[in-house]
Amino acid sequence: MKLWQKEGVTTADKIDRFTVGRDREMDLYLAPFDVLGNLAHAQMLETIGLISSDELGMMTDELKAIYQKIHQGQFEIEEGVEDVHSQVELMLTRVLGDVGKKIHSGRSRNDQVLVDLKLFTRDRIWRVAEAVQRVFYRLIGRSEQHRDDLLPGYTHLQIAMPSSFGLWFGAYAEALADDMLTLQTAYRLANRNPLGSGAGYGSSFPLNRTLTTELLGFEGMHVNVVYAQMSRGKTEQTALTALAAVAATISRMAMDICLYNSQNFGFLILPDALTTGSSIMPHKKNPDVAELLRAKTNRLKALPMEVTLVMSNLPSGYHRDMQLLKEILMPAFDEILDCLDITDFMLEHLQVKPNLLDDAKYDLLFSVERVNELVLQGVPFREAYRTVGKEIAEHTYVPPRELHHTHEGSIGNLGNDLIVKSMDQTVKGFGHEKAQSAISHLLS
């Protein structure tokens, strides 16, 4: 069944398979959101007189029944049915007959898939935001737990200055707070209603787009119907850019863990339960979890460019090229959510080695402390710098291991409260409560 199929016109099976591609598989992600879009659209149709109140009642009851089947795992796109939109309409018409056929009035499959994708993307970005928050607060907790455990700081992979595990954990927490800003931007772009744009040129029916915007809990609508269609691709690219930002943070942390867990560094310990072994080397405890996190998140960083290439040189209006965006977008959410879940688990069980800087090989980490010590005695900085350099060269240098870092964001003043405040403010800026409330009301 195809919504566009005409009497006596058929498409070659080979063309059918090629053009449908993985769409039926990807459309299963959209099933609950297609029903939500139908519920809102049906209510709107009743207000403008295209269906009666009795017909609305029948449609609403059946759509809610379909929604329950989806959540019970009893929904499938049948063989020969092109996509989720066709399947839902088919299920309606089987039960309601001609009443079910009225659901497509004032709508194109283009704006139908657009609203499904907007609702799906909004939902998944919020799930990612929740998962990011869990990792964020795990990092903040570990930062506070290890605020006094010192760690070598590096530049150019050479020992540079004293750091701490409090700083290290906190740095990645603040990185996620920044990433949350990118997620909020992607969420708010997804949180705009394209329904009513039709095939990209509106409708001669007196559609009430403001009503469907409110019913679906959108922050606003894509006003211009041509731009509503042009938002396809931009929404996906922005969402994947946000996921790539989170992925970049996790990837970099995973690389640190691989380094810090190695014998050459020896700063962290991954418990046996988090490691794997070697088939020939009995001593091996490999950090496969961190290595796979690094690889999976690195791969996610490439996805915005895939969207860019698919959308390159497309003029305005709908093009079938856009179908492929589903295959890029939808599995990416599954991947990042899995990565965030395993990151949280790994961070929970990661063990920190204390007293690292007691080792004499880290004496030079304190050279800047020695310079600052002389400056506080009145020696000009450049002269103090040369003096300490001479002490090091002549082996008379004695590291001052007592640290006095008091400014915001330093070893002695982590500023985690400010980082938490930043995260909380960004999360509030999503405005997700409105969407939750609207969807609950729509299904009630």
* C-alpha–C-alpha distance, residues 105 and 103, integer Å: 6
**Token code pair at residue 404:** 């006095």
3-state secondary structure the chain: CCCCCCCCCCCCHHHHHHHHCCHHHHHHHHHHHHHHHHHHHHHHHHHCCCCCHHHHHHHHHHHHHHHHHHHCCCCCCCCCCCCHHHHHHHHHHHHHCHHHHHHHCCCCHHHHHHHHHHHHHHHHHHHHHHHHHHHHHHHHHHHHHCCCCEEEEEECCEEEEEEEHHHHHHHHHHHHHHHHHHHHHHHHHHCEECCCCCCCCCCCCCCCHHHHHHHCCCCEECCCHHHHHHHHHHHHHHHHHHHHHHHHHHHHHHHHHHHHHCCCCCCEECCHHHCECCCCCCCCCECHHHHHHHHHHHHHCCHHHHHHHHHCCCCCCCCHHHHHHHHHHHHHHHHHHHHHHHHHHHHHHCEECCCHHHCHHHHHHHHHHHHHHHHHCCCCHHHHHHHHHHHHHCCCCCCCCCCCCCCCCECCECCHHHHHHHHHHHHHCCCHHHHHHHHHHHHC
What is the largest distance, in Å, between two alpha-carbon atoms of the chain? 95
Q: Within 13 Å of residue 112, how many CA atoms lie on the same side as its CB?
A: 23
203 labelled catalytic: no
Burial of residue 41, with CB atoms counted within 10 A of its CB: 0-12 exposed, 13-18 middle, 19 or more buried: buried
The verdict on whether 278 is a catalytic residue reads yes
Q: Which residues, at least 6 apart from 142, have a Cβ–Cβ distance to it below 8 Å?
A: 165, 169, 347, 350
Q: Annotated catalytic residue: which of 52, 262, 278, 316?
A: 278
- Let me know: does 163 contact 370? Beta carbons within 8 Å: no
CB 166 within 8 A of CB 148: yes
Q: Is the dihedral of CA 44, 49, 51, 56 positive or negative?
A: positive
How far apart are the C-alpha atoms of 252 and 245, rounded to whole Å?
11
From 53, 156, 204, 395, active-site residue: 156
Q: Which residues are catalytic?
A: 156, 278
